[in-house]
Each structure stands twice: as C-alpha cells, then as structure tokens.
Amino acid sequence: MPRDHRSVATRTDFSPAPSSKGFIMAIRVALHHKTSYRYDRLVSLAPHEVRLRPAAHARTPILSYSLNILPEAHFLNWQQDPYGNYIARVVFPERTAELSFTVDLVADMTVINPFDFFVEQYAENFPFDYTEQLSFELGAYLKVDEPGPLLLAWVAEARRALAVKPIGIADFLVALNQRLQADIGYLVRMEPGVQLPDDTLALRS
C-alpha cells in the first residue's frame, strides 16, 4: 500500500522595490511544496496530470518556478487546458517504489487594489444584461450544471435581499461575498471530487 506524505513550507522576504511613486516595500514569498508516495514493492505508474503551476494570467507575478519529479526516469510535457491553466503530463516508463513531486516558487506579492477596474456603463448597476456577444463568450460560466433546489432558493433569496432596487455593481459584489462568507464556512476535505452546490449549502461548508 502507498504511504502518502505532503508538506508545504513558506518563507517571506521584505525588501524595497522601485516604483513610479518612489520605493515601496515589496513582499516576496518563497513556497516549497512536496507530495510523495512510497510503495512496499515496485509498481507501474499510469500517466499523471499535475496541476501545481500558477496560471500565466494570474495577477501575482511568479519570479521563479521549478518542478522536480521522482523517479528520474520519466517524460514530462507541459500543456494548457482551455482556461489557460498549466498541466504537467508525466509518463513513467519504468516500475518504481517511490513517486514524488516537489515544487519551489517565488511569488512577488504586489499590492493590488481590487477596486481598480473599469465597468462598462450598462453594467454599473445590478441587475443588468450582458451584451449578446459577451453573453455568448461567457456561456460556459453562465451555465448552471447542478441547479438543485437549495441553490435556486439561495440565489432567489440573495436577489430579493440585495437587489430590491438597482445597486452599484461593486457594492453588490461585496454584499454577495459577505453573504457567502456568513452562510458557508471553509472546511478542508480529504475526499476526492467536487462537492455539489446543494451539498455545500446543506452542510454549510
């Protein structure tokens, strides 16, 4: 049977960095992650898809990144999924008694103003309708795959409470996130798979 071990370590560095407004305090975080498995006999490994690399479109700049894999006898190909996320596809041609993935990266925790964005005039207040072209482009995100009764009831209640009259889109999003935080707690689950929305609402976590 495999024995599973995971470890994560971080190190933070504070140093001045130049900007258009003079020098600001830059925060750089070094992250070390290791997932390892040991087996009591030699085993054949199926191809693995590893998602342990930040996406290129992430707002946090990644200054350095490395992925080290054991066993050393492997073939690695980097791919991207339809959403631009990096996938390391790894093939192991030989049997092994150990499997491990080690990631080291340094991230520049640049200070970001979450409200520094431009809103089209038609979307300044909620509710609003997307343009036909944008609605088409966002189709995958607007589709609800699991519209269970608890999810539909939660959305209806949130709409009644937050959108009784037109409300600024930023104020609406802040209030919606506050409502989510109040209704659903964060819980680390070891079970595989994605929990259905109705299960999350029923468990409140």
Length of the chain: 205
Parent domain of 13: 3-108
Examine the domain organization and report whether 104 and 40 are in the same domain: yes
Q: Report yes or no on 113 lying in a domain.
A: no
Q: What is the pLDDT of residue 63?
A: 95
Whether the pLDDT of residue 74 is over 70: the answer is: yes
Examine the domain organization and report whether 89 and 137 are in the same domain: no
Examine the domain organization and report whether 165 and 96 are in the same domain: no
Q: What is the CA radius of gyration of the chain?
A: 22
Neighbours of 167 (CB within 10 A): 15
Model confidence pLDDT, tens digit, residues 157-183: 998 888 778 889 989 999 999 999 999
Average pLDDT, the chain: 87
Burial class (CB in 10 A: 0-12, 13-18, 19+), 99: buried
Examine the domain organization and report whether 104 and 13 are in the same domain: yes
Q: How many domains does the chain have?
A: 2
Structural domain ending residue among the three candidates 57, 79, 108: 108
The better pLDDT of the pair 171, 7 is held by 171
Contact 157, 201 (CB under 8 A): no
Examine the domain organization and report whether 11 and 103 are in the same domain: yes
Q: Report yes or no on 193 lying in a domain.
A: yes
Q: What is the pLDDT of residue 5?
A: 63
Helix (H) or strand (E) holding 133, with range, is helix 132-137
Q: In Å, how far are 37, 72, 99 from 4, measured between CA atoms?
A: 5, 19, 10
Structural domain ending residue among the three candidates 108, 131, 158: 108
Model confidence pLDDT, tens digit, residues 76-92: 999 999 889 999 999 99
Q: What is the pLDDT of residue 18?
A: 56
How far apart CA 115 and CA 186 sit, in angstroms, is 24
Structural domain ending residue among the three candidates 55, 85, 108: 108
Examine the domain organization and report whether 91 and 184 are in the same domain: no
Examine the domain organization and report whether 97 and 177 are in the same domain: no
Examine the domain organization and report whether 100 and 151 are in the same domain: no
Q: Report yes or no on 116 lying in a domain.
A: no
Examine the domain organization and report whether 57 and 152 are in the same domain: no
Examine the domain organization and report whether 18 and 95 are in the same domain: yes
